[in-house]
C-alpha cells in the first residue's frame, strides 16, 4: 500500500481509521506550551506524554471526546504540529 492510500483519510469527507497512529513533530512540541489549556494543547500534551498514539488513546489521555479529537487532529496535521505515522492497513 502506498503513502497516498495510507493517508487517504486526510480528505475532509473521510473518517480517520482507528488504525491510524500519530506523533508530534518538532514544531508540535514547541507549540504544545504556546496554546495554553485549550483542546489543541491538551492533544499535543497527550501526544508528548504518551508518544505515538491512536485516536482512542489521545481522547482518553486528553479527556476530549473522540469526534473532537479527530476534527482537531486534522487541523494539527495541516498546521504541521502532528504527523501520521501510519494509516489504515485495511
pLDDT digits over 8-45, tens only?
Answer: 445 455 677 878 889 888 888 887 777 678 899 999 99
Per residue, the 3-state secondary structure of the chain, as one string, reads: CCHHHHCHHHCCCCCCCCCCEEEECHHHHHHHHHCCCCHHHHHHHHHHHHCCEEHHHHHHHHCCCHHHHHHHHHHHHHCCCEEEEECCCC
- Assign 87 a pLDDT band (cuts: 50, 70, 90): low
pLDDT at 74 over 70: yes
pTM of the model as a whole = 0.72
Amino acid at each position: 500500500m502506498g503513502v497516498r492510500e495510507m493517508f487517504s483519510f486526510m480528505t475532509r469527507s473521510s473518517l480517520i481509521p482507528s488504525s491510524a497512529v500519530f506523533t508530534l513533530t518538532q514544531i508540535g512540541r514547541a507549540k504544545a506550551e504556546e496554546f495554553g489549556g485549550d483542546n489543541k494543547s491538551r492533544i499535543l500534551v497527550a501526544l508528548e506524554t504518551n508518544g505515538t498514539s491512536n485516536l482512542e488513546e489521545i481522547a482518553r489521555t486528553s479527556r476530549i471526546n473522540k469526534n473532537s479529537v479527530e476534527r482537531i487532529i486534522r487541523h494539527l496535521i495541516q498546521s504541521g504540529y502532528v504527523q501520521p505515522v501510519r494509516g489504515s492497513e485495511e
